[in-house]
Structure 1
Amino acid sequence: MSDTPKHNGKAAPAQVTYANMLFYGCWSGLGIMAVTYILYVTGILTPHVPLEKVPLLWSQPVGTYLELGKVPHGWGWTVLIGKGDFLNFLGIVLLAGMTILCYIPLIPAFLKRGEKGFALMALAEIIVLLVAASGIVGGGAH
């Protein structure tokens, strides 16, 4: 006989929670991106960078685009969230943050099952991703 644990073929409740959150979160992010894109291209929300300037600015190096478009870097875009061309970042942020959001309910689930090591790893993963997204370590485009 083998010493490996037997599986009944069913996913653990924590796995189901993670998968469900990821499924609905990703579809929500894509939906938000579609709606905010429509708001942008129809002109319902005024863009920060006028639509007619976008082709000219996109052909420039990113530094020139940021300077001529008066676009803040890093998380500075949040002050422009009411503009049509920056509102669509909400969907992108949701998609990018889904791993963090999905790890949160894993911590109490692991603790409930007495798996403190896994709970600690999930917490560490959340902290690492939040620090990376913050830009405070200076390793990204922030």
Structure 2
Amino acid sequence: MTTSRPVADAVAAAAQSPQQLRYALLLQWGTRIGLAVLVASFLGYATGWLPAHLPPERLAQLWSQPVQAYLAASGSPTGWAWYRLAHHGDVMGLAGIAILAGCSVLSLLALVPLYAAARDRWFVALCLLQALVVLAAASGLYL
């Protein structure tokens, strides 16, 4: 049985570059880890294995408050200070979100050596610029 030329061409076109494979692999593992942290934090919070920073009954009382009043009454941190409370089940979910948001940065930075070896300076610059934009947004800086 012989393979027709259009089928062979379609299979060859479907082959992925090393850059695409590396990006996809790192993104896949980053999303898996982020999702696992989200699930673990929810299970830890829901079952009581992890202490809550803000007990659920108190949370219901504070929902209707303005942000500043909520922050003052709950003792919740702002910005990146949440990481100090990551051992609490209700805050640990933010770690999962941070992993999900950050895994694209690691994936992009992992492409830089591949593009540099291929002397593709434009793609090196684009990867670095995209990573910089995401990091600047995550830092809370207003440019």
Normalising by the residue count of structure 2, what TM-score does the alignment of the two structures yield? 0.85
TM-superposed CA distance for 1:34, in Å, is 0.5
- Contact 2:45/2:51 (<8 A) preserved: yes
Does residue 51 (structure 1) correspond to residue 56 (structure 2)? The answer is yes
Equivalent-residue separation in structure 2 for 1:77 and 1:71 (angstroms)? 8
What residue number does 2:36 align with?
31
Q: How does 1:1-142 map to 2 (within 5 A)?
A: 8-9=12-13, 10-137=15-142
Equivalent-residue separation in structure 2 for 1:26 and 1:59 (angstroms)? 33
Moved over 6 A (4+): none
Structure possessing the higher radius of gyration over alpha carbons: 2
Q: Structure 1 vs Structure 2: percent identity of aligned residues? A: 35
Unpaired runs of 5+ residues, structure 2, are 1-8
Tell me the amino acid that sits aligned with residue 46 of structure 2: V
Tell me the amino acid that sits aligned with residue 75 of structure 1: W
Equivalent-residue separation in structure 1 for 2:62 and 2:107 (angstroms)? 37
Equivalent-residue separation in structure 2 for 1:53 and 1:13 (angstroms)? 51
Tell me the amino acid that sits aligned with residue 124 of structure 1: L
Q: Deviations over 1:18-50 (max 9, x none)?
A: 111112211221111011111111111211111
Unpaired runs of 5+ residues, structure 1, are 1-5
Q: Deviations over 1:47-96 (max 9, x none)?
A: 11112111122232322221211111111111211222111211111111
Tell me the amino acid that sits aligned with residue 78 of structure 1: Y
Equivalent-residue separation in structure 2 for 1:121 and 1:91 (angstroms)? 26
Tell me the amino acid that sits aligned with residue 70 of structure 1: G
What residue number does 2:4 align with?
none
Tell me the amino acid that sits aligned with residue 99 of structure 2: L
Equivalent-residue separation in structure 2 for 1:20 and 1:40 (angstroms)? 30
Number of residue pairs matched by the alignment: 133
Which range moved further: 98-107 or 61-70? Answer: 61-70
What residue number does 1:3 align with?
none
